[in-house]
Amino acid sequence: METTTTRAEGAQTEQAAGRPPAEPRTRKVAAKKPRRRRGVATNDPVGDMLTRLRNGVFARHETVEIPASRLKTEVARILRAEGYIAGYEAAGQTLTVRLKYAGKTSALTGIDRVSRPGRRTYVSRDEIPLVLSGLGVSILSTSAGVMTGREARRKGLGGEVLARVW
């Protein structure tokens, strides 16, 4: 005749036999590191910046917050110098851009990414594109830094066309 015993009965019989009760098995789990909250991972940080600016203009926001980098700060400097934004402030890991409006219309009508991670676009000094027949601005990354197409033409430099702004 077979008898089945429960865990509690088994512990009682072990105590009656003079043995200490068996301890339940436990798994040791390593303590998890606290996760650091980060923004959205992106493969195209400049494209993300331009999209945030475009969305901020469409939604009529006064400011737009963007994860900061030196390249994005330089693009914001050019946009400020050309009069497309009211200003910018780089504080820590965040770049805060103040959008510029004249009444209900934005100074920033359109902004396009030209050179993308999947298809880089490089131009020589003679091939620098005009935006809206010279009414807009092309932003280039050259060996002498980030500058407008007009500056690059004057200095005789070519480079990667980052964006078109009008």
pTM: 0.75
For residue 42, give every residue at least 6 positions away whose Cβ sits within 8 Å of its Cβ, in sequence order, or none: 48
Strands 105-106 and 159-165: unpaired
Distance separating alpha carbons of residues 159 and 140, to the nearest angstrom:
6
Beta bridge partners of 113: 163
pLDDT digits (tens, 9 = 90+) for 117-144: 999 999 999 999 999 999 999 999 999 9
pLDDT digits (tens, 9 = 90+) for 29-65: 777 777 766 667 789 999 999 999 999 999 999 999 9
| CATH code of the domain in which 83 resides | 3.30.1490.10
What residues make up the domain containing 120? 45-165
**152 falls within a domain:** yes
Distance separating alpha carbons of residues 120 and 136, to the nearest angstrom:
21
User: Residue type at 160?
Assistant: E
* Token pair for 141: 């990354």
Distance separating alpha carbons of residues 44 and 42, to the nearest angstrom:
5
**110 falls within a domain:** yes
Distance separating alpha carbons of residues 140 and 149, to the nearest angstrom:
6
**100 falls within a domain:** yes
Place 100 in a pLDDT band, splitting at 50, 70 and 90.
very high
* CA pseudo-torsion sign 126, 159, 96, 61: positive
Q: Of residues 53 and 28, which shows the higher confidence score?
A: 53
Structurally, the chain folds into a number of domains equal to 1
**108 falls within a domain:** yes
